[in-house]
Amino acid sequence: MLHDPREVIRQSPMGTRQWIAVALMIALNALDGFDVLSSAFAAPGISKEWGIGRDALGVVLSMELIGMGFGSILLGGAADRFGRRPTVLGCLVVMAVGMGLATTAANPYSLGVWRLLTGLGIGGMLAAINAVTAEICSNKGRSLAMSLMVIGYPIGATVGGTIAALLLKSGDWRVVFEFGAIATLVFIPLVFFLVPETPAWFLVSRPADALARANRSLAALRLPAAQALPPVETGAPRASLLDILRPGLVGTTLLLTLGYSLHCITFYYILKWSPKIVADFGYTQPQAASVLVWANIGGAIGG
């Protein structure tokens, strides 16, 4: 028997239960992809109903992105403190509430608040599902699983956008958020029953019954139990976020941050405004949504 639950996962062949959990992580990333772009799908209808200009609409479209930034820091850190599974479930609840309340918005200000709340959940979710996917996969299966998880985002925007285009034929932009809220609620019991806490988290948090709880997670994944836990390292320097700014790393950190920031600016700017731009040319809401769908089909193929 292996002493480290992480090694049990890394060295064992990928089983059905592990792939089910990975499939749910892909689906959750797809849900995030749809939720982020739901306001873009609804943008032409929002602008038309409330008669707001592009400046006010731009604020509404950016609110969930602001929420994602804070959510990835605040709720993403919760995944390390409270566990991956509770964080995913909590983020789903936050997202469902935000999407549901968006259907009650009577003006751009209230809609912006609910989109900010939804973004908090999305940001935390993105951080947690990356950790879950990496920690429940074997060495051989991890690369494939991570690649599939990443392309879940454009797939969700593609499938969700296709559904949104059909729903928007009714003319009411609120149906996009109603669909998102219902889809989010569906995932809560699926994650609760089919995704255990990752054994790796128990090695970091070290509760009193860490070995027993790690073995229960291994059993849920249909993997053999670990005999013992590796000893806790003593005297090792404690990791800090500021480590990425140490001499020798600061240049790489700043370069990667700048590059990724510019990527996000162009990526979300183009995707968020595409439906509104197409609608301004005189096309219908479903036609405007279909343009964004094709953009994400390209993203999925590229991934």
**Separation of alpha carbons 249 and 247, rounded Å:** 6
Residue 197 is assigned to a structural domain of this protein: yes
Structure confidence at residue 236 (pLDDT) = 63
Mean pLDDT of 192-221: 92
**Separation of alpha carbons 89 and 188, rounded Å:** 6
Residue 97 is assigned to a structural domain of this protein: yes
Structure confidence at residue 1 (pLDDT) = 55
CATH number of the domain within which 216 lies: 1.20.1250.20
pLDDT digits (tens, 9 = 90+) for 147-179: 999 899 999 988 988 898 888 887 789 999 999
Structure confidence at residue 258 (pLDDT) = 95
Eight-class DSSP state of 103: T
Structure confidence at residue 2 (pLDDT) = 58
pLDDT digits (tens, 9 = 90+) for 40-95: 999 999 998 999 888 889 889 899 999 998 998 888 788 988 999 999 999 999 99
CA dihedral 173, 174, 175, 177 (to 10 degrees): 110
Domain count, the chain: 1
**Separation of alpha carbons 107 and 102, rounded Å:** 10
pLDDT digits (tens, 9 = 90+) for 192-204: 999 999 999 998 8
Residue 74 is assigned to a structural domain of this protein: yes
What are the backbone angles phi and psi of residue 75, rounded to the nearest 5°? -80, -30
282 is in which domain, residue-wise?
5-231+243-302
Residue 237 is assigned to a structural domain of this protein: no
**Separation of alpha carbons 111 and 60, rounded Å:** 7
Structure confidence at residue 196 (pLDDT) = 96
Find the length of the chain.
303
Which has the closest alpha carbon to 114: 177, 187, 57, 33?
177
Residue 236 is assigned to a structural domain of this protein: no
Does this model's pTM top 0.85? My answer is yes
